[in-house]
């Protein structure tokens, strides 16, 4: 009997990404990954991204679903809603990917291969392992913030990953269930950190494959002072939440 390819759902949160979303779906379709689906999670974007997503649901070359939410509630909330929906709809693998084209879709096959052929519970598209890079036009203050955030997070939580705030990841559905993704509270950088921490805390392995991270050319980042403040507090909150991190056995 012919075996069915695992269902791969790419969860894409959007807020004002009207121009980026069609390009992203086109890039994803060009990968020709069997049984790949896209789930757009739009927070009622004023620029009409939700309508663009509905149009893609009708005419894109790969299956596109749309989850409409009524208010802008942060990237983390959008991912949690999207991942929960993806699990309910039978995803085997969930790709977490921003809509702004900063994450290279061509890295997905290698991420999925690493996920399925090793004991990794999640694979990060990493800017900071050998072979990874950040576009030179990424603003210097974002580079500095990212470097500081990685140092800070690893010092407090001992995640032992090179790119602790990476937003491009491939998850086994079972990992998302094991870490109880529904219970994740944080947004922005802190969302990434809390997801990683929950994984490491349960003794599961995080792997990293190199990517080149591009600066978005359309639209603007939604990174705010509130997101940065949350990012500073969340590692401490997690650290003292009473359970203590297990070491990431992914080292080496
Ligand atoms: N639905 C929804 N989507 C959102 C929201 N806020 C942001 N997004 C979407 O989430 C994605 C990333 O948002 P950005 O605001 O562009 O993120 P960033 O500043 O570039 O930060 C990204 O990279 C960091 C690592 O450098 C990550 O730590 C961070 O989580 C994110 O992935 C984009 O697709 C954007 O439309 C929201 O409130 N609701």
User: Dihedrals φ, ψ of 239, to 5°?
Assistant: -60, -40
Three-state SS at 39: strand
Give residue 106's Cα distance to chain centre.
15
Tell me if the pTM is above 0.90: yes
Lowest-confidence region among 78-92, 124-138, 189-203, 219-233: 219-233
Please tell me the distance from the alpha carbon of residue 205 to that of residue 193, in angstroms, as a whole number. 14
Please tell me the distance from the alpha carbon of residue 84 to that of residue 89, in angstroms, as a whole number. 9
Helix (H) or strand (E) holding 32: none
Please tell me the distance from the alpha carbon of residue 162 to that of residue 249, in angstroms, as a whole number. 14
Residue 251's pLDDT band, with cuts at 50, 70 and 90, is very low
Residue in 48, 98, 235 to alter for ligand 1 test, most ligand atoms within 8 A of Cβ: 98
Q: What is the pLDDT of residues 10-37, one digit of tens each?
A: 999 999 999 999 999 999 999 999 999 9
The atom number, within ligand 1, closest to the CA of 168 reads: 32
Residue 244's pLDDT band, with cuts at 50, 70 and 90, is very low
Evaluate if residue 246 carries a pLDDT over 60.
no
Evaluate if residue 250 carries a pLDDT over 50.
no
Residue in 10, 12, 13 to alter for ligand 1 test, most ligand atoms within 8 A of Cβ: 13
Residues whose CB falls within 8 Å of the CB of residue 19, separated by 6 or more in sequence, listed in order: 218, 219
Q: What is the pLDDT of residues 142-169, one digit of tens each?
A: 888 888 889 989 989 988 899 999 999 9
Q: What's the CA-to-centroid distance between 83 and ligand 1, angstroms?
A: 15
Nearest residue (by CA) to ligand 1, atom 7, is 75
Q: What's the CA-to-centroid distance between 187 and ligand 1, angstroms?
A: 9
Closest CA to 24 of 168, 152, 240: 168
How high is the ipTM of this complex? Answer: 0.96
């Amino acid at each position: 009997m012919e075996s069915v390819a695992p269902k791969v759902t790419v969860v894409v949160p959007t807020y004002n990404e009207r121009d980026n979303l069609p390009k992203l779906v086109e890039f994803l379709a060009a990968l020709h990954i069997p049984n790949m689906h896209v789930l757009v999670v739009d927070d009622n974007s004023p620029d009409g991204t939700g309508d663009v997503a509905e149009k893609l649901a009708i005419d894109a070359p790969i299956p596109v679903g749309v989850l409409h939410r009524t208010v802008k509630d942060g990237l983390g909330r959008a991912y949690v809603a999207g991942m929960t929906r993806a699990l309910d709809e039978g995803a085997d693998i969930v790709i977490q990917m921003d809509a702004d084209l900063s994450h290279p879709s061509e890295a997905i096959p290698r991420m999925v291969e690493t996920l399925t052929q090793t004991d990794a519970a999640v694979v990060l598209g990493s800017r900071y392992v050998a072979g990874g890079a950040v576009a030179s036009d990424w603003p210097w203050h974002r580079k500095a913030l990212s470097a500081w955030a990685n140092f800070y997070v690893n010092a407090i939580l001992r995640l032992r990953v090179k790119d602790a705030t990476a937003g491009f990841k491939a998850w086994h559905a079972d990992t998302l269930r094991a870490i109880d993704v529904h219970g994740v509270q944080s947004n922005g950088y802190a969302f990434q950190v809390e997801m990683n921490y929950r994984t490491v805390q349960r003794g599961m392995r995080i792997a990293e494959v190199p990517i080149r991270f591009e600066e978005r050319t359309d639209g603007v980042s939604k990174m705010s002072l509130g997101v940065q403040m949350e990012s500073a507090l969340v590692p401490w909150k997690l650290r003292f939440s009473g359970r203590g991190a297990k070491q990431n056995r992914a080292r080496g």
